Amino acid sequence: MEQMAKPLTKNIRPDRAFATLADYESTGGYEGLRKAITQLQPKDVQQWVKDAGLRGRGGAGFSTGLKWSLVPMDAESFQTRYLVVNADEMEPGTFKDRLLLERDPHQLLEGIIIAAYAIQAHVAYIFLRGEYHLAALRLENALLEAGSKGYLGKNILDSGFNLEIILHTSAGRYICGEETALLNALEGKRANPRAKPPFPLVSGLWGKPTVINNVETLCNVPHILHYGIEWYRSLALGADQGTKLFGASGRVKNPGLWELPMGTPIREIIEEYAGGMRDGYKLRGFLPGGASTDFMLPEHLDVVMDFDAIAKAGSRMGTGTLIILDDLTCPVQMVLNLEEFFAQESCGWCTPCRDGLPWTVTLLKDIIAGQGRMEDLDALSGLTRMLGPGNTFCALAPGAMEPLQSALKYFREDFERYITGNNAVMESV
């Protein structure tokens, strides 16, 4: 029953060893693929995933089955299509995909094969963060194992379907996590985002229809096909379906990552799974889904972790990995730390991001150095609007503005104390 309740982590062992092909098969591995490829048509697989309610786990939360169904398939059934896995996990505070890549690589491979079959793609790419060396080694091993057993290559499971999976280790930066910048990097170009439309589903990798899915998203797919739609929907507690990897970092007693039902209350994650705050520290706020989400407060602890509930509370669920702010950590310096990261990782393609983020960093540094003015807070507020959604080529700058705009909203007195010279001694981050 534990396996059924926690499908994503059922093969993950406490000794940090990874699941081999034999391990994976012993718990039902590749049975979802077998069902999909031998019993269902591609559009049936799309419908299964759509009906199960799987939403993208990379942060946007778009319906996975719906995304697959938008790929042009009828007019030119022979047309080249690609599936690309976004494994370029570089969001500060986020480490969920790394666990899946390193400890259960066959789960991802099975999800890739099923997804490729659903959109009739015969080539798939895993775009892997360059620093994930152990994940690369284990994926390479899993690819060899899957190929030797007939799960990959030509005529998979005697179905007539062929698939090649190529592991591409990125040499890039945070911007490569943006789907169109990722495609440019994969093509050997500078990793700048592309203007949309056209969207990758119609014109993506080398101008061909391309689906881009996150690692965790695809790891859900084999279990939907194996155990069924109703089983998957029964796992959740709220409006969204299935389970998710939720994490917590910061001054909690038990930082880590746990597979929990979608709709789990934030309070439960922090107080029960993360063990609550360390002795001597109090919870002041948290980023609910990685560095590019808005701060939430202790008053939001009873909000549940699903996409719409977090949005209603004024933030985004993002990657579902909480970054905890305690009462002895300066929120202004925490925000500066994040803005320095985003400014460094900007590709420089559009003016608001290229010039606005360094300006943001300069203003924050001046404030912390005691050289700020009250007008600087108005300037920072203006930047959160100028760098907001719709004003840049991609979501990097708007994401960078989320912790800043919410810090100005909730922790304005901390900014003002630096300016007035009455700042209490607090720890830097």
What number of helices (H) and strands (E) belong to the chain? 18, 8
325: left (phi over 0), alpha (psi -120 to 50) or beta: beta
**Joined tokens for residue 300:** 């939001």
pTM above 0.75, yes or no: yes
- What's residue 427's pLDDT? 56
Please say whether the beta carbons of 255 and 238 come within 8 A. no
Please say whether the beta carbons of 117 and 161 come within 8 A. yes
| CA distances from residue 17 to 101, 260, 313 in whole angstroms, order as listed | 12, 22, 39
- Total residues belonging to the chain: 429
Judged on CB neighbours under 10 Å (0-12, 13-18, 19+), 234 is middle
Judged on CB neighbours under 10 Å (0-12, 13-18, 19+), 278 is middle
- What's residue 59's pLDDT? 80
pLDDT tens, position by position, 226-270: 999 999 999 999 889 999 999 999 999 999 999 999 999 999 999
- What's residue 61's pLDDT? 86
Taking alpha carbons only, the member of 91, 83, 80, 220 closest to residue 165 is 83
Please say whether the beta carbons of 415 and 318 come within 8 A. no
**Structural domains in the chain?**
2-234 (3.40.50.11540), 246-326 (3.10.20.600), 331-420 (1.20.1440.230)
- What's residue 17's pLDDT? 82
Q: Hey, what's the torsion of the CAs at 260, 263, 266, 269, to 10 degrees?
A: -10
- What's residue 73's pLDDT? 81
Residue 154 neighbours by CB distance under 10 Å: 11
Strand partners, 87: 128
Give pLDDT < 70 ranges for the chain. 1-3, 74-78, 423-429
